[in-house]
Structure 1
Amino acid sequence: MVEIRTVNNTYSKSAIDLILNIQQKEFNVPISIEDQPDLMQIEEFYAASGGNFWGAFINDELVGTIALVKFDNAAAIRKMFVKKEFRGKEHNIAQKLLEILISYCHENGIEEVYLGTVAILRAALRFYERNHFTIIEKEKLPTKFPLMNSDNVFCFLNLKS
């Protein structure tokens, strides 16, 4: 059974292992831990600004993550990753993580959600499109959006309606 809970700095090593393995080994994205210092300071980077970081656990193993960086009445989704063996409809982990994040946004007055990803993550893009995200040009991102150098596709979801 999947349990979704808030993740703090205690889980930094587990989150780093999960995320870097997917980025580097599975998708060959040229990114390192040095490019992602937020993973070593989860509480300071996410929670302190009004965002959050959630983990999906099965038998106490971290198998998925999603994070939210808040700025103004908007936020950015970061670190949406699910371990390969736990992807898909059987476990529905990505959907559960996204629903927790969206619910958090509604409860905290966040009206717009943005994200950046990499074009080679086609399944992720299809997932976001199924969840009503629209692909937008980089120039349409808010000035405070936390850009990652590797991102080359950007999406937007309006929660006002």
Structure 2
Amino acid sequence: MSEITVRPYEPRDADGVVSVILPIQREEFGFSITAQDQPDLAVIPDFYQTGKGGFWVAEQDGVIVGTIGLKDIGNDQATLRKMFVAAEARGREHGTAAKLLERLFTHAQAAGLSEIFLGTTEKFLAAHRFYEKHGFVQVEKAELPEAFLFMKVDTRFYRRGVN
């Protein structure tokens, strides 16, 4: 098994990104969702890789095994979105999620962001623990910035300052 590397998204990664995200949403969590229901996936450079945002992929042996996006919402704030790691690349022994998040934090700090927000569902229990372990604090929906982009499945929200 080779090392997992994290790098910025490139247009050639489009199919690999969808092939990681959709099975997790549909098969693991039972959401009836398609790629067409997520128009941001068709325009990642225009949606994420603008302003202080970014989008990264985790790759192993030439295959995308994880994704993470940072959407600039103005006011030195951003939203973490599309953090997904394929089942075979999860866990401490791989460190995929931590590598993706570390890359995002490094970028956020260099870009001059002050806060990162995210929304998730009550179903993603392991994600809650992961985010909390990495400095995110749960906040009420009313505490989110006006520009926060809500997903209809989001019921739990977090914020983290950028050090």
TM-score range, shorter chain: over 0.9
- Equivalent pair of 1:53/1:67 in contact (CA under 8 Å): yes
Letter in 2 for 1:157: R
Alignment correspondent of 1:35: 37
Give the deviation of 1:153 after TM superposition. Answer: 0.7
Q: Please state if 1:111 is matched with 2:111.
A: no
Please list the CA deviations of residues 79-135 of structure 1 after superposition, one character each: whole Å capped at 9, or x if unmatched.
100000110000101001000000101000101000001110100010001011111
Alignment correspondent of 2:134: 131
Separation of aligned partners in 1, 2:32 and 2:131: 23
- Equivalent pair of 2:78/2:116 in contact (CA under 8 Å): yes
Secondary structure, aligned partner of 1:32: coil
Q: Please state if 1:84 is matched with 2:114.
A: no
Give the deviation of 1:13 after TM superposition. Answer: 1.4
Separation of aligned partners in 2, 1:57 and 1:19: 14
- Equivalent pair of 1:9/1:40 in contact (CA under 8 Å): no
TM-score, normalization by structure 1: 0.96
TM-score, normalization by structure 2: 0.94
Give the deviation of 1:15 after TM superposition. Answer: 0.7
CA RMSD of aligned residues (A): 1.0
Letter in 2 for 1:22: I
Separation of aligned partners in 2, 1:76 and 1:112: 9
Give the deviation of 1:11 after TM superposition. Answer: 1.2
Secondary structure, aligned partner of 2:126: helix
1:45 to 20, 44, 47: 47
Runs of 4+ aligned structure 1 residues displaced above 4 Å come to none
Please list the CA deviations of residues 42-100 of structure 1 after superposition, one character each: whole Å capped at 9, or x if unmatched.
10101123311100000010000000001220000001000001100001010010000
- Equivalent pair of 2:71/2:81 in contact (CA under 8 Å): yes
Separation of aligned partners in 2, 1:31 and 1:138: 23
Q: What percent identity do the matched residue pairs reach?
A: 39
Alignment correspondent of 1:63: 65
Give the deviation of 1:17 after TM superposition. Answer: 1.5
Letter in 1 for 2:19: D
Letter in 2 for 1:16: V
Matches within 5 A, 1:3-22: 3-22=5-24
1:97 to 100, 118, 122: 100
Q: For this pair of structures, how many residues does the alignment match? A: 160
Q: Please state if 1:150 is matched with 2:146.
A: no
* Structure 1: gaps spanning 5 or more residues: none
